[in-house]
A = this chain, B = another copy of it.
Amino acid sequence: MTTKTQTGNIRDKKGIRTRETITRAARKVFSEYPYHTASMRMIGKEAGIEHPLINYYFPSKARLFETVTSEICSEFIRRNEEWFDEIRNLKITDALTSYIDRLLDYNAENPEPLRLLALNITQAEHITQIPGYQQFPDLIEKIQQLFMKIIPIKSTAQQVSIYINSFVFLAIALLGSSPCVAQVQGMEPGSAQFREWLRSALNMIFLPPLKDIINIQVNTVRGQKKKSE
């Protein structure tokens, strides 16, 4: 008889803790290996259990992955909402630097989300082969909307959109593939030195075009920056 797993029970049975152990382990493994490379046996080992136990709590690898990515995405969105709320009243350029600081703080303590994103976002044509892939574009769109709300003017919405997308994708690329990025710089991925490098990079790249966007708004000049000669 195929009794349903009944994972949603209220009573604090032992299984609840095990389930959390599994999701925590899965989170780690899925943020180190892309979906098809990560295996149930890796996750089991990481959780200190035998791998079939995972199927007692989750019907399949795909559903486990979806659970983890859902958790990660909604958590990341929640954090973003907090950050955007905190910087709402700052001048726009200060807001950006504050946002960058918060993002780096978060990533230092909690590197899995951006790692998992970077690992699986690249999967080329074969989008449907990654369960819950749609969550990644959705996440980026949500962040974009949050960004949009604090950038006041709406006239050059397309430029703002481009700006935000570039920011998000570069942040994912730099923070999510830190081993490679750090290696090029001759730094350790987790070091304070590298984190400072990331801070400089994001500020240096994204402050100037942001100022341009604002200036364009004020001057209502389109396309090119003001050219004094």
Which residue numbers of A lie inside 8 Å of B, CB to CB? 31-34, 36-37, 115, 118-119, 121-127, 136-137, 140-141, 144, 159, 161-163, 165-166, 169-170, 172-174, 176-177, 179-181, 183-185, 197, 200-201, 204-209, 211-212, 225
Interface residues of chain A: helix, strand, loop or mixed (majority):
helix
Whether B166 contacts A127 by the Cβ 8 Å rule is no
Whether A162 contacts B200 by the Cβ 8 Å rule is yes
Query: With A and B bound together, what is the CA distance between A40 and B91 in angstroms?
Result: 55
> Nearest-CB distance from A104 to chain B (Å)?
15
User: Which chain B residues lie closer than 8 Å to A122 at the CB level?
Assistant: 34, 118-119, 122, 176-177, 180
Q: State the 6 A-B residue pairs at the shortest beta-carbon distance, nearest first.
A: A208-B208, A173-B173, A36-B37, A122-B177, A208-B209, A170-B170
Whether A204 contacts B162 by the Cβ 8 Å rule is yes
Query: With A and B bound together, what is the CA distance between A122 and B173 in angstroms?
Result: 8
User: Which chain B residues lie closer than 8 Å to A31 at the CB level?
Assistant: 124
User: Which chain B residues lie closer than 8 Å to A169 at the CB level?
Assistant: 170, 173-174, 177, 181
Whether A208 contacts B179 by the Cβ 8 Å rule is no
User: Which chain B residues lie closer than 8 Å to A206 at the CB level?
Assistant: 205
User: Which chain B residues lie closer than 8 Å to A207 at the CB level?
Assistant: 209, 225
Whether B33 contacts A126 by the Cβ 8 Å rule is yes
Within 8 Å by CB of A177, from B37, B121, B183, B204, lies B121
Q: Besides the contacts A119-B122, A123-B179, A204-B209, what 14 more A-B pairs have beta carbons closer than 8 Å?
A: A32-B124, A34-B123, A36-B36, A36-B37, A137-B180, A137-B184, A159-B204, A162-B204, A165-B201, A166-B205, A169-B174, A172-B173, A207-B225, A208-B212
